Amino acid sequence: MKKILILSASPHRDTVVDSLIKEELELLGNEVMVRPCLREGRDAVLEFKPDVIVVPPIRNPYSRDLVETCKDWGIGVVSRHTEASCDWKDFKESSEEIKQNILGRWRYNIDKELVWGDDEAMILDRRKTGFPHIAIGAIGLDIYKQKGYRSKFTSNKEFYKKWNFDETKDVLTISSPWGFCDSAPDLSIDEMVSVQREVDGRNRYLAMISGLRQMLDCNILVTLHPGVQIEPYKVALDQMGIPLDTESTATDILVNTDVLIHSGSTMGIEMHCMNKPAFQYQDVNEKYSCGWWIKNGSALSRVSPRFEDLNELAKAISAADKSNADLEAIKELETGRYGKMDGKAFKRTAKEINEVDGKFKFCWPRAHNDYDSLIMCKETTKVLRDGYCGICKRKFSMINPQYLKDICQSVGGNPQNIVAMEKNTFCPHCCARFFKP
């Protein structure tokens, strides 16, 4: 028997998936704990002392440090991707910078990486990491393929009572698309700054909700993307008299929803799995086409009929009674980005996790500082930082000023000379001074 710790990337979205994996691992004879990764992950490792840990995708120094320390302690590490990423078409059409983001900007050492589709597994194999990348399928859709799954979630009666809904009317759920517009301060990172400034889309969505409230005779519920600040939405929705659900899992909401409005979300496929209609208003995939997982005209944005005119949207909602998904788009996703949608991905996941060996041993962790900071260091970013020119758009490397100052001090030089050099810097390609490190 092994002790296995599963760290959820987003409890709102992943609780259902992680519960399926947990149950399967327990059937295989393991002791399993599930905890949120952010804010609680490190404490959970110290509390549970697992032999194997399952973590979300490793995309930043924080998560890399977590898995490195776990490996130091003898823990087997499996990374499970929580969302579908890219396929070959996406990868080949991406810029070199985006390809590097897909492959990962930080190297790490784990035992296995579990992804959704075969394409992504082969793409990540290009990294030559020494550990396998294994496609397990569209695990986020598994629950809807399980017999009797509806009984595991909030009953229709309880759901209506919770929100004081009229039981004679259908429930229209509206999923907000602008997930990082108001991200919680402690979950904000530099890469999200440009998205955080995008408030226009959120405001247009709120205007759409207000318009539909006057056109439709139904119960309306709004749910937010995980990790955002609630207040900007709550203020607007309170004025409309529309409830905001920030606690229920996505599945608890969807099983009690008759019609869904989204902006290019996997939720549209989930509604299709339950033979329910979903509609798309605007397209977050088109808006942020800089991401590798989101492209103009992507299959995910073609799953549900898209409307921009509120009158037409209201008419379509009133006439809808079953799945209206584009089956060709779903087929494209299944053979590409999402992988198999057979309801057995969680079983394949549990099998792969169960095969990983590990034994927790609490030992002194290795140093995470570079004590010889002048001659040898772990990361090139200590010495160099990348930049790009705002004029010619070409990339270049800059010597980190702090590194030069450290060298200068160690050899008895004047650090002020380094400050003067830093202020007199030009693009090495076109000599422009408008560059961004």
* Stronger pLDDT, 367 or 13, i.e. the higher one: 13
**% of the chain with per-residue pLDDT over 90:** 54
Question: Strand 259-262 to strand 278-281: parallel, antiparallel, or no bridges (unpaired)?
Answer: parallel
Q: What is the pLDDT of residues 158-196, one digit of tens each?
A: 999 999 999 999 999 999 865 444 555 554 444 444 444
Q: How do 384-389 and 435-436 pair as beta strands? A: antiparallel
Question: How sure is the predictor about 274, in pLDDT bands with cuts at 50, 70 and 90?
Answer: very high
If one compares 108 and 77, the residue with the highest pLDDT of the two is 77
State how far the alpha carbon of 160 is from the alpha carbons of 166, 304, 310, 355, in Å.
7, 26, 26, 44
Please name the residues in contact with 247: beta carbons below 8 A apart, sequence gap of 6 or more: none
Inter-axis angle of helices 310-319 and 200-215, nearest 10: 50
- Residues 352/305, Cβ–Cβ less than 8 Å: no
Domain residue ranges of the chain, discontinuous segments joined by +: 3-141+343-354, 155-329, 380-436
Q: Considering all CA atoms of the chain, what is the largest pairwise distance in Å, rounded to the nearest integer?
A: 82
CATH superfamily of 3-141+343-354: Response regulator (3.40.50.2300)
Q: How many CB atoms lie within 10 A of CB 365?
A: 11
pTM of the prediction? 0.76
Q: What is the pLDDT of residue 192?
A: 45
Length of the chain measured in residues: 437
Q: pLDDT tens, 314-360?
A: 999 999 999 999 999 999 999 999 999 999 999 999 999 999 999 99
Both tokens of residue 278? 């979903």
Most confidently predicted of 217-226, 278-287, 410-419:
217-226
Burial of 286 (0-12, 13-18, 19+ CB in 10 A): middle
Residue 290 has pLDDT above 90, yes or no: no
State the helix-helix crossing angle for 200-215 and 231-240, rounded to 10 degrees. Answer: 20
Q: Is the pLDDT of residue 120 over 80?
A: yes
pLDDT of 288 higher than 70: no
Please tell me the CATH code under which domain 155-329 is placed: 3.40.50.2000
- The region, left, alpha or beta by phi > 0 then psi within -120 to 50, assigned to residue 343 is left
CATH topology match: 3-141+343-354 vs 155-329: yes
pLDDT at 95: 79
pLDDT over 70 (residue 143): yes
Of 183, 162, 269, the C-alpha closest to 233 is 183
Q: Which helix (H) or strand (E) holds 235?
A: helix 231-240
pLDDT tens per residue across span 104-118: 877 899 999 999 999
Per-residue confidence (pLDDT) for residue 98, from 0 to 100: 79
